[in-house]
Chain A
Amino acid sequence: MAIQTIERTAKQIVLTVQDYSLFASRAFTNLFRPPIYWTDFLTQSDIIGFGSLPICILSGFFTGGVLALQSSSTLAEFGAAAVTGQFVSITMIRELGAVLTGIMVAGRNASSMASELGSMVVTEQIDAMRALGVDPMRKLVTPRVFATIVMLLFLTIVADAFGILGGAAVTVVLNHQNGTQYFHMAYEHLVYADIVQGLVKPLFFGYIVASVGCFYGMRTTGGTEGVGRSTISAVVNSSVLIIFVDFLITHVLLSLLPS
């Protein structure tokens, strides 16, 4: 009995991965084939980009502040409190800015995509759209994927900037260190490899957030309860996938672009 359950679960996982791969690849190839719904792209860019701005600014600012708080005492033990700026900027730009923004946007937008599309599925609106001769993949999924990729890139840059500002605020106000020195160290030790690493990741994370959110939304079954399940699956799986893919990208980029 237990073996049958394991077998069934394993098959279910393999099938889900297969379905997701087909779905995600179709969403991606649709980016380059007309018709492209530009109005929907702009609407989604506004919802995803501008709508997520406050949470990205706040999470970036306070993460930078926490990094400065946590690192300064340890660095001070080695007489290196002056490199707090370097520590905060490199950590934010290479890693935390992209990952935190990805997870915040996943929490806000993967959930909203899954619940919105899921509601449309259970109320037959998706079927109605197909019956009216419109491809929901092109009309609903591709604009969301495209908008999330573009907007997450800019949101990550904003989060990085506010993270460095948060670190500066803590360094100057709480640690009573020199602000000019902080910014000098933050800028001076940055190299192109850091910037590239920080800007490549959000492209992948944006794709993950939107494709996972839309995937779970479009395969919703079981009425309103099913919409709830899809929403949870979308947030959990996109967040975990972001961290996993972050590990892979970091590994690849560090070997390609050693600092």
Chain B
Amino acid sequence: MQTKTITVVIDENGNSTIDLGGFRDNSCAKVAEDFRGGDRVTKEHRKVSCLQDAESQVQRHTGR
């Protein structure tokens, strides 16, 4: 099982990026919310690895 990690980078302007890695379920939405705090989201996207994981999960499900 891949380790779940959260990396927060706070830039020189005081703004941040939140990078969630290793999440294979929908818990990442809650985790992202925990780390966002009251901040305003300016950009958000799922990572490529995540889309591939989701795709393979769908294929497994349809194969049953």
A binds B: no
B contact residues vs A (CB 8 Å cutoff): none
